[in-house]
Amino acid sequence: MASVLEQLGSMTTLVADTGEVAAVRRLKPVDCTTNPSLVLAALKDPAAEALVAREIEAGKAKGLSAEQICDTLTVAVGAELSTLVPGRVSTEVDAVLSFDTEASVARARAIVADYAARGIGKEHILIKLAATWEGIRAAEILQKEGVDCNLTLLFAMAQAVACAEAGVFLISPFVGRITDWYKKAEGVEGYAPEQDPGVLSVRAIYDYYKSNGIQTVVMGASFRNAGQIKALAGCDRLTISPKLLDEMAAEEAELPRALSPENASGVPARTLTEAQFRWELNADAMATEKLAEGIRAFDKDHKALIKVIADRL
């Protein structure tokens, strides 16, 4: 019998949620991602040491600041990863820009230009932005320029609806973080996959998109266990940590398909004004708290990465 991972890969595009070169080489996913959090982890990867040292020395020779080298290093790791996967590498716009549309667009263009200078075309990358109103507007501009975007930190249907209206290429609803919030709020140890709030959230978004012929890719993210992943088998894409990929590769069991476009319920499409978007997000305590928390955490890791580079300079 084929492993659970092989069966999953036959119905869902698998993305490695890691910036570690060695892990990507071993797991051979279609796509992968990089951001300050993952680059921080990659700094501990011996396989990336030569790349890191080279990038820091090059930046030092050009008189770049630690913050500027942080930007180039993130792209350098992404460029290395792009040689190992047939699909896309997601690269994140600085979290501190999450509420500034113009600055987000400018940073995204700089990322695209840096990749181009390294011989990597925009068809091989995704620009990752937080799914704030401003981030979604930045994505709308970039999509019209032919730059595909990945909207992350997505916790609510309002965010998914707005992303669809903006013509975003891909969204990353965060399964595990939604579950974490509800476990704490409801004082429970966990949920069966069919009752898991994070799983149900992604299923609802997937159903909305497929019911309305929306082309935006749904990529479930932030998983806490393999059960959550299996409950979303058939989702367009799933981004999974090396640990969980390995766990499913070692498991042999029948994996039924959980999601399929043919089973869409036919829920009608809707539109959202900025005021409606902000109100719906505000009315959802979980989404409001997890979005803010996620932006702060990404910014913290960005600053930590800058400090590591500054110390090495």
- Residue spans of beta strands (DSSP E) within 144-196: 149-154, 170-173
- pTM of the entire structure? 0.93
pLDDT of residue 236: 97
Catalytic residue among 60, 62, 128, 210: 128
CA distance 16 to 223: 12
From the CB of residue 37, how many other CB atoms can be counted at a distance below 10 Å?
Answer: 18
CA distance 255 to 152: 27
pLDDT of residue 7: 97
Of 66, 12, 26, 7, the C-alpha closest to 246 is: 26
pLDDT of residue 120: 96
Query: Phi first, then psi: what are they for 219, rounded to 5°?
Result: -120, 100
Helix axes 274-283, 285-312, angle to 10 degrees: 90
Q: For domain 4-312, is the CATH number 3.40.50.1000?
A: no
pLDDT of residue 129: 97
Residue type, position 12, single letter? T
pLDDT of residue 18: 78
CA distance 31 to 42: 17
pLDDT of residue 240: 93
Please report, for the chain, the start and end positions of each structural domain, with discontinuous segments joined by +: 4-312
Residue burial 191-215, b: 16+ Cβ < 10 Å; e: rest: bebeebbbbbbbbebbbbbbeeebe
305 and 39 in contact (C-beta within 8 Å)?
yes
Residue burial 53-86, b: 16+ Cβ < 10 Å; e: rest: eebbeebeeeebebeebbbbbbbbbbbbbbebbe
Whether 128 sits among the annotated catalytic residues: the reply is: yes
* Mean pLDDT per 10-residue section of the chain, whose length is 313 residues: 94 86 81 78 74 87 92 90 90 96 98 96 96 98 98 98 98 97 97 97 98 98 97 96 94 97 97 98 98 96 91 85
Of 106, 128, 138, 135, the C-alpha closest to 36 is: 128
pLDDT of residue 223: 97
Query: Phi first, then psi: what are they for 16, rounded to 5°?
Result: -85, 125
